[in-house]
Amino acid sequence: MPDLGLNVLFEGRNFVRLLGGLWTALWIALAAMAASVVLGLPMGVLMTSRHRLVKLALRGYLEAIRVLPQLVLLFVFYFDLTYVTGVNLSPELAAFIVFTLWGTAEMGDLVRGAITAIPLHQYQSGYALGLKPSQVQAFVVLPQSVRRLLPLAVNLVTRMVKTTSLIVLIGVTEVLKVGQQIIDRNRFQYPDAALWVYATIFLLYFLACFPISRLAQTLERRFAV
């Protein structure tokens, strides 16, 4: 087995380093997702509010986040923020903030959708039993919304994990960056290292995202009404 490019992965601590990079990406995505859930739930509830101004403001926020590429947001928060305010964020923190802003907007929209998808008759059916509005929310609307929401939220996690591949551009040493380092370091010993390293990264992303994606499918089927 002479000169097989695959061996580059087992030079030194290369494979462990790749896993470490993946962990950095996952960690940022999951932390941002957790924050997005916490902030997105009230945002979604507020988006169903009757106050026109509240609705307009949240709608505007959602659309603004949606039309901007995540990469632009990352640059704005990492470079421009420092330039304007002098606050120097670590790249990880900037990534976390941007992903949370994005996730909150998406999550809020998902929550809004899940709440408005509950038919009016379900509310009335609850009221007809004598349930108070808060009880209808707690025992009828929220449980059903969560069931609709869960598969969609899990899908958002996979989107976040994938989008972490951008944060290499503001200097976070995540899995892609580690891969490039390994490729550059071994350019002469393993000329085809790129093939193997990127294939491994592909596999790592797959292993991270596929179970999450399957979980979403399972939840969707389980909660189908």
Partner 1 sequence: MTALHLIPEVAPALAPVAGPVVGPVVGPGADVAAAVTPDAGPAARPAPPALSLRGVRKEYPNGFVALDDVTFDVAEREIIAILGPSGCGKSTLLRCVNGLEPIQAGTIALDGASVTGPGTDWSEVRQRVGMVFQNYELFPHLTVLGNLLLGPLKVQKRAKAEATERALELLARVGLADRAGDYPRQLSGGQKQRVAIVRALMMQPEVLLLDEITASLDPEMVREVLDVVLELAADGMTMLIVTHEMSFARAIADRVLFLDAGQIVEQATPDVFFTAPATDRAKQFLNLFEFRTPTKKTASGRGVGHRGDGARPERQPRGPTPWPSQPTPRPTAHRPS
Residues that bind partner 1 (CB under 8 A): 121-122, 124-132, 135, 139-140, 143-144, 147, 223-225
Least CB distance to partner 1 at residue 117 (A): 12
Q: Which is nearer to partner 1, 75 or 223 (CB)?
A: 223
Distance CA 36, CA 73 (A): 16
Positions of E strands within 63-144:
none
Distance CA 31, CA 39 (A): 12
Q: Which is nearer to partner 1, 97 or 140 (CB)?
A: 140
Q: Which is nearer to partner 1, 88 or 124 (CB)?
A: 124
User: Residues 157, 161, 162, 167: what is their CA dihedral angle, to the nearest 10 degrees?
Assistant: 130
Distance CA 33, CA 36 (A): 5
**Structure token digits, residue 16:** 């462990």
Q: Which is nearer to partner 1, 143 or 171 (CB)?
A: 143
